[in-house]
Amino acid sequence: MKVLVTGGAGFVGSHVVERLLRAGHEVVVVDDLRTGRRENLPAGVRLYQLDILDDRVAEVFERERPHAVSHHAAQASVAVSVRNPELDARVNVVGTLKLLQCCARTGVRHFVFASTGGAIYGETTAIPCSEDHPPQPISPYGVHKLCAEHHLHAWRALHGLACTALRYANVYGPRQDPEGEAGVVAIFTAAMLAGKRPVIFGDGLHTRDYVYVEDVAEANLQVIEQRVEGVYNIGTGIETSTRDLFELLRELVGYPGEPVYGPPRAGDVRRIALDCRRAEQAFGWQPRTSLREGLARTVAWFRSRFRYRP
């Protein structure tokens, strides 16, 4: 099967590319390399350096004729979406629509969308939160991801395109960018290894569901190979507070310092964890990597790239 991965040179996308290749599929990538890195891609993978809003992406679809699309190109920061909601809408809504139009014109069979759990559900009344919980996004990022999901539903009705939305928890692991505004594991780890004090926004008691990136890549492979449709949470169902995450990373890094506390960030939910039983029932997916194991692998990867200065 030929799969086109948008954002395939980025953090999650590059792990999806690797997993698809190991399973024997042909992969092509569209990535503008603003946040992705060419070195994240295995040798021999065709890369089209294009923004998904660029009309030339249609030419890629015409040339490659993929069977499936794994859509990971995105504006991925809640904070950026609050500051610039129009930018977020252009990338996460209009960009997705342009890809769906390309799919309809070229006969793509299956469209897999990297969505979000916490930002779509908002302040939930149940932890862990299932897919049946009413969406109550409190940030433009969550609103626009939900809007894109609705377009997927419409495209299935209009064009018969098989569509899947994977609502990710907080994905972490090797290759995550510590310079951006998303990815607290990468930001904390890089800061500790550089001898700097990580910043905790709020009181440190906000909780998140941390899922390892290779488990996320496995979920993508399974839904593509089994052509599973629908909306599925991809997480662990376990809450971890920001303070507890800091303590785990401090132990693994051997960092002697304390964090700096800053004001809470607009758009951040207080608590979230995802109920993933639907994914297990539908296509047999479960998270395999414990938080401690995943953090240890992540720290080892960052340690090979950052010099520790206590």
The first and second tokens of residue 190, run together, are 């890089």
Strand-pair partners of 232: 166
Q: How far is CA 40 from CA 3, 15, 16, 225, 237, in A?
A: 17, 9, 11, 23, 29
* Contacts of 86 by beta carbon, 8 Å cutoff, 6+ apart: none
The first and second tokens of residue 30, run together, are 């569209």
The first and second tokens of residue 163, run together, are 């569509």
Q: 3-state DSSP call for residue 261?
A: strand
261: annotated active-site residue: no
Q: How far is CA 96 from CA 105, 112, 113, in A?
A: 15, 11, 9
Q: From the candidates 48, 121, 141, 212, which is the catalytic residue? A: 141
Asked if 58 contacts 105 with a C-beta cutoff of 8 angstroms, the reply is yes
Cis peptide before 259 (omega within 30 of 0): no
Nearest to 232 by CA among 101, 125, 129, 148: 129
Angle of helix 57-64 versus helix 95-106 axis, rounded to 10: 30
Dist CA 45 CA 232 (whole Å): 28
Task: Give the catalytic positions in this structure.
Answer: 141
